[in-house]
Amino acid sequence: MVLRLGSTAPDFEAQTTKGDIKFHEFIGDKWTILFSHPADFTPVCTTELGLVAALQDEFEQRNTKVIGLSANGLEEHEKWIADINEINNVKLNFPIIADADRKISELYDMLDRQDATNVDAKGVPFTVRSVFIIDPKKTIRLILTYPASTGRNFDEILRVVDSLQLGDKHRITTPGNWKKGDDVIVHPSVSTEEAQKIFPKGVKVIKPYLRLTPSPF
């Protein structure tokens, strides 16, 4: 099954560092970020998971849960979490899925066998640095894949959550490099006449197809 934006996030059962879960029940009525890392006890991953732990309040403010995954077992995860906490001065509180049999990595297409930089010493592919943003209806809204060599920018993931949540509430899109509070773009499906009625803070017409309005935050 090929997962695309708009696909329903496949449901699964898993062991995690916070107990067994059924994924759709775990999501409940929240936004969810499912992200994988290549392996426990590796340097880039240690910095990444420390960053995610430090951003816990930011995720909560956005009604968003996070859940990690790698093809390691629970015992390794637990030991590694102690390292992450020590090195990054955090208390990692989100669950990490133990996908030692790689069932969920297969389901979410997180194993990139073609990338020669993404295999262990035995030639077995790691889970790549995948990110899925999933909305409360269990629909996949963003898919990202990063190479093993490059740690992700989790401020960018938060930025996308802000953009998606705002676009679900208002008929707007967001420009390149947009961040919370910046002007937003009137959705192309809204005429300028209608935009002037529904966006009381005003509409600036740059071109007939590019109309800005102050952020409704």
Binding site for ligand BEZ (CB under 6 A): 38-39, 42-45, 126, 148-149
Q: Give the Cα separation of 145 and 36 in Å (integer).
A: 9
In terms of Cβ atoms closer than 10 Å to its own Cβ (0-12, 13-18, 19+), residue 173 is middle
Rounded to a whole number of angstroms, the minimum distance from the CB of residue 71 to ligand BEZ is 12
Q: Identify which of residues 21 and 119 has a Cβ nearer to ligand BEZ in the complex.
A: 119
Rounded to a whole number of angstroms, the minimum distance from the CB of residue 57 to ligand BEZ is 25
Using alpha carbons, list the distances in angstroms from residue 203 to 78, 166, 184, 189. Answer: 52, 17, 10, 15
> Is 45 a residue of the active site?
yes
Among 14, 33, 34, 45, the one annotated catalytic: 45
Tell me which residue has tokens 């066998």.
113
Q: Identify which of residues 37 and 141 has a Cβ nearer to ligand BEZ in the complex.
A: 37
The number of beta carbons lying within 10 Å of the beta carbon of residue 2 is 5
Rounded to a whole number of angstroms, the minimum distance from the CB of residue 63 to ligand BEZ is 29
Q: Identify which of residues 147 and 200 has a Cβ nearer to ligand BEZ in the complex.
A: 147
Q: Give the Cα separation of 123 and 113 in Å (integer).
A: 9
| Active-site amino acid positions | 45
